[in-house]
Structure 1
Amino acid sequence: MVTLRDVARSAGVSPKTVSRVVNDDPAVTPETRELVRKEIERLNYVPNLAARMMRTATSEVVGLMTDVVATTPYSVEIVRGVQSALRKEGRTLLIANTEGDRQIEAGYWRTFRSHKVGAAIVATMFHREYDVSPEGFDKPLVMVNCFAADNRFDTVLPDDEEGGYTQAKHLLQLGHRRIGVVSLHEAIRATGLRHRGMLRAFAEAGANFDESLLERGAVGPFPDETFVAYEAAKRLLSRPDRPTAIICGNDMLAVQIYAAASEHGLTVPDDLSVIGFDDLPIFSAILRPRLTTVALPYFRMGEMAVDLIAGMKSFAGRPAKQHLVECPLVVRESCRPLA
């Protein structure tokens, strides 16, 4: 096994200089730093992280605490974003999936402390308030897709309000004015934010939104709600003054709107324009015609969380900030201009 002394001998410098390069000490000149790094790469030297942890009381490991993100097909993009950013920094990820169990979560915080994890990210499957209790963990901590009630941690959130605005603006620019909505459950924070953004788009266009065209795509106690988007869409499309376009709470609901349109002998987009939210490929890219939608920027949110913790020493003693990430429009074939 190649040692630090082997690198020093090969580079013609002292072991202390190699140690300084490994630990990014700014006291090393650029020329010497480059020389040592080349020898590290040539000899395939792996720094002793355990020893570094003993010296610094921390590690290059970042802990990711999730509810069910790590096992959910689409929101796992948050994990991929975190991994991608950490890989560029030469850091390691430790994932802890709690399945929503607070006792399991408490155990994982103890694990993070015992492993001297250098920073933590807390992520949830959907945009919501989350009571994070880090159990004595005093290293940098950022929340993704969620926020603490007391706003004591930096948060990275999708800009749901702007996403709702984008959905409505796209249809309005295509000439639609009679626009229906099949929304997510009203208990979900994103539902209200997107509705507010949609109303702003209507106001900017000098148009009025007909509230009778708003239907809930999910009903019953949350989070055990029943999805009723198909029935909701059938009611909208049975009206004599049916909408010419429908905004969907997510891409999964859009699938049911497509089915309801077919039941009524309507085609998308010739008779009905449909726009989704999420850009979940299993729906948006497989539906025919392919679904125009607004994307949830989960990968970018994961990357941003790593960017934030890189500049922190701890979560205490500084004002927490909310960082909103744009939800971009993805135009495909499910919307058309109104003749």
Structure 2
Amino acid sequence: MEGSGQIRRSRPTLQDVGRLAGVSGAAASYVLNGRPGVAPDTARRVREAAAELGYRPNSAARALRSDRNGIIGLVLGEVPRTPPPVGTMAGAHAEAQALGQSLLVTNAYGTRGGFRLAFDELLGRQVDAIVVAVSGTRRVALPEVRDGTPILLVNCFPVVSGPPCVLPDEQGGGHAAARNLLDHGHRRIGVLAGVRGMWATTERVAGFRRAMREAGVEVDEGMVRYGDYRLGSGRTLARDLLAKGATGLLCGNDRMALGARLAAAEAGLRVPHDVSIMGYDDEPELAAEAGLATVRLPYEDMGRWAVRSLLGGEPLPPRTLLSCDVVARGSVSAPPGIPPGRA
């Protein structure tokens, strides 16, 4: 306002960024829109100039040019009181932000009607694509979307056929967990599996069996037990397996692994000197604080991959698997009588 003493600064433009970086406005646009063909040093100067000037892309103008609104919808499929897939949300948000997109989150509360309401809400907002994410891997029944809006499922898959999905490579994770114990010299391995029949449980046990077969170690079926992914279940099953002479315990998740540690302590066994324990999930604020060797589920990676793939516009296979990697910590070592490194 005239005479107010305030100075209105105009919003920096691509031309301003280009001038500061010593390139044209078109070259600056190429870099900031992620297009190829610009030398790395030039791209670095452009990004530094944009940061210095506080340049922000005009999302409305970009939407008009690309027939996109710059919004990705994220539907959470969990029932009330079930923890949401926080890692997936974090990864999806980080990737959307890096690509200049917005993320609009809603919840379907785990029901088909809830999915219908969530989809209608997002489609009414004219989102460019929809990501559906859950915490525990399972099948989901989704309503039909007839307007062609791309949909991608994270950590879940359709009941019959439907949108493509990205899943953890659970069999690879089970194989890696068993391989970690085998590489330390364990041959008498007990498995505290999760709920029998669940997809993740089945895949992890299959990975364990494959690792044992490759190592030439016969599986004692009495050492493969099923529970319910809870601490108490791990404690009960571990008591039995330790009594059977297990030197290593492969657990269905980190909570069962903590139950196994309690059982070991009750039996007067030290971890990892007398018995080694492998968890699964790398649950935040649990596995690390307990010093638990475990397998990390790629929740954040799946969220990033989903947003990046949807915006890429390329056809996707029905299923994509992302690796589950071992996180080495102090709960695994060589079994009694075998020096470290002599397995």
- The alignment's TM-score, normalised by the length of structure 2, stands at 0.79
The CA deviation at 1:144 is: 0.8
What's the counterpart of residue 305 of structure 1?
306
SS of residue matched to 2:132: strand
2:178 and 2:208 in contact (8 A); partners too:
yes
Q: 1:135 aligns with which of 140, 145, 148?
A: 145
Residues 53 and 207 of structure 1: is their aligned pair in 2 closer, same or farther, counting only changes over 3 Å?
Answer: same
**Change in 2 beyond 3 A, CA 1:165/1:118:** same
SS in 1 for 2:191: strand
Contact 2:298 2:322 in 1 (8 A): yes
Structure 2 residue aligned with 1:166: 176
What is the 5 A alignment of 1:160-309? 160-218=170-228, 228-237=233-242, 239=243, 241-287=244-290, 290-309=291-310
Residue 65 to residue 48, structure 1, CA distance change in 2 (3 Å)? same
Q: What is the deviation of 1:101?
A: 3.0
Moved more, 48-57 or 133-142: 48-57
Quick check: 1:323 aligned with 2:323?
A: no
Q: Report the Cα offset of residue 320 of structure 1.
A: 3.3
Q: Deviations over 1:63-96 (max 9, x none)?
A: 0111139986583111111111111111000011
Helix, strand or coil: the match of 1:281? coil
One-letter code of the match for 1:201? A
Q: Is the 1:106–1:135 Cα contact (8 Å) retained in structure 2?
A: no
Task: Please tell me whether residue 89 in structure 1 is matched to residue 99 in structure 2.
Answer: yes
Looking at structure 2, the residues matched to 37 and 275 of structure 1 have their Cα atoms a distance apart, in angstroms, of 44
TM superposition shift of 1:37: 9.6
**Does the 8 Å CA contact 1:57/1:116 hold for their aligned counterparts?**
no
Structure 2 contact 139–158 (Cα < 8 Å) conserved: yes
Paired amino acid for 1:218? D
Worse-superposed segment, 124-133 or 59-68: 124-133
**d(CA) in 2 for partners of 1:154, 1:40:** 36
User: C-alpha separation between the residues in 2 aligned to 1:93 and 1:70?
Assistant: 22
Q: CA deviation at 1:282?
A: 2.3
Could you tell me how far 1:128 is from its partner in structure 2?
1.7
Question: Per the alignment, in what secondary structure is the counterpart of residue 135 of structure 2?
Answer: strand
**Cα contact 1:255–1:283 (8 A) shared by 2:** no
Alignment correspondent of 1:222? none
Residue aligned with 2:285, SS: helix
Q: Which residue of 2 aligns with 1:332?
A: 329
Distance 2:46 2:184 in 1: 60
- Equivalence map 1:96-175=2 (5 Å): 96-175=106-185
SS at match of 1:283: coil
Compared with structure 1, are the counterparts of its residues 48 and 2 closer, same or farther at alpha carbon in structure 2 (3 Å cutoff)?
farther
Cα separation, 2, equivalents of 1:331 and 1:25:
36
Secondary structure of residue in 1 paired with 2:279:
strand
Per-residue CA deviation, residues 284-329 of structure 1 (Å, 9 max, x unaligned), is 1122xx111111011111111122112217xxxx563321111111
Aligned length: 318
Shift of 1:119: 1.0
Percent of paired sites with the same residue: 32
Cα pair 2:196 2:227 within 8 Å, conserved: no
| CA 303–7 in structure 1, closer or farther in 2 if over 3 Å, else same | closer
- SS in structure 1 of the partner of residue 286 of structure 2: helix
CA RMSD across the alignment: 3.6
- Residue 68 of structure 1 contacts residue 100 of structure 1 at CA under 8 Å; is this kept in 2? yes
Report the more deviating stretch, 170-179 or 125-134. 125-134
Q: 1:196 to 1:2 in 2, by over 3 A?
A: same
SS at match of 1:228: helix
Is the contact made by 1:217 and 1:227 (CA closer than 8 Å) also made in structure 2? no
Asked if the contact 1:66–1:96 (Cα under 8 Å) also holds between the matched residues in 2, the reply is: yes
TM-superposed deviation, 1:283: 1.9
Determine the C-alpha separation between the residues in 1 that align with 2:45 and 2:221.
68
Verify the 8 A CA contact 1:109 1:134 in the aligned structure 2: no
Deviation for aligned residue 1:127: 1.7
CA–CA separation in structure 1 for the residues paired with 2:271 and 2:84 = 25
The whole-number CA distance in structure 2 between the counterparts of 1:145 and 1:75 is 9
CA distance in 1, matches of 2:119, 2:147: 7
SS at match of 1:282: coil
Q: CA–CA distance in 2 between the matches of 1:188 and 1:274?
A: 22
How far apart in 2 are the matches of 1:2 and 1:36? 21
What is the TM-score normalised by the length of structure 1?
0.80
Residue 99 (structure 1) shift: 1.9
Q: For structure 2, list consecutive stretches of 5 or more residues without a partner in the other structure.
A: 1-7, 19-24, 338-343
The CA distance in 2 between the partners of 1:49 and 1:104, in whole Å, is: 30
